[in-house]
Chain A
Amino acid sequence: GAGVSQTPSNKVTEKGKYVELRCDPISGHTALYWYRQSLGQGPEFLIYFQGTGAADDSGLPNDRFFAVRPEGSVSTLKIQRTERGDSAVYLCASSLGPANNEQFFGPGTRLTVL
């Protein structure tokens, strides 16, 4: 079956602009996660959705970052007033549900802020 997909694969923007990154989880997976991977580092947790609600957003670095999952499937990560330090690969993962912590990752979106 289809895995986790993310669009776009690459995004180049200018400092101060707004960007949206999209994630399509595996069908039937109720849990969805966003991570950020900076160059040379391991992924860092941003936010976790169970269904439509954000169950844990403790990893969002500041209020410029926001994510939604209105219908419990596709999720969008939104970044306002982008800064050069936001440049990273943004990874999305999904898992079956609350009792299953095996996460399946998408290929990521590489965001470059000029």
Chain B
Amino acid sequence: AQSVTQLDSHVSVSEGTPVLLRCNYSSSYSPSLFWYVQHPNKGLQLLLKYTSAATLVKGINGFEAEFKKSETSFHLTKPSAHMSDAAEYFCVVSPSGSARQLTFGSGTQLTVLP
């Protein structure tokens, strides 16, 4: 069994300040972890993925996430928010190395204030 908890349903930051979106996971096997972003009226886009290689994963648009097994966390960060980062972000878990169903968190809505 696997599950994902996104600790904040809404996060608001000012443009140019750091972003932190928190995610904890639960998995009975070695997981793959992902962050997806969903802009209004657009499809889900993969930001980054962890598949048991380096624990610090760099993604697109300056985002990165660190896999911490001891804390069962996979938090998403960005040093400096941009207005275009405003969107819904989903933390996702799946069994590692196989094409299986993805289990999504409930999402975090990121607002970027000017």
In the complex the two chains form, is B43's CB within 8 Å of A99's CB? no
In the complex the two chains form, is B104's CB within 8 Å of A44's CB? yes
Q: Which of A42, A50, A97, A102 contacts B105 (CB 8 A)?
A: A42
Expressed in whole angstroms, the Cα–Cα distance for A4 and B107 within the complex equals 22
Q: Which residues of B contact A95 (CB under 8 A)?
A: 99
In the complex the two chains form, is B101's CB within 8 Å of A59's CB? yes
Q: Which of A50, A97, A107 contacts B43 (CB 8 A)?
A: A107
Q: Binary interface profile of B, 87-98, with partner A (CB < 8 Å = 1, else 0)?
A: 000100011111
In the complex the two chains form, is A99's CB within 8 Å of B44's CB? no
Expressed in whole angstroms, the Cα–Cα distance for A99 and B98 within the complex equals 4
Q: Binary interface profile of A, 33-65, with partner B (CB < 8 Å = 1, else 0)?
A: 101000011111100101000001001000000
B103 proximal to A (CB < 8 A): yes
Q: Which residues of B contact A7 (CB under 8 A)?
A: none
In the complex the two chains form, is B44's CB within 8 Å of A45's CB? no
Expressed in whole angstroms, the Cα–Cα distance for A35 and B36 within the complex equals 14
In the complex the two chains form, is A101's CB within 8 Å of B90's CB? no
In the complex the two chains form, is B46's CB within 8 Å of A102's CB? yes
Closest 4 CB pairs of A and B: A42-B104, A45-B101, A105-B44, A31-B99
With A42-B105, A43-B102, A101-B102 given, can you name 16 additional A-B contacts, CB distance below 8 Å?
A: A35-B102, A41-B107, A42-B90, A42-B107, A43-B44, A45-B102, A48-B101, A50-B99, A93-B102, A99-B99, A101-B32, A101-B98, A104-B46, A105-B43, A105-B45, A107-B43
A residues near B, CB below 8 A?
A: 3-4, 31, 33, 35, 40-45, 48, 50, 56, 59, 91, 93, 95-108
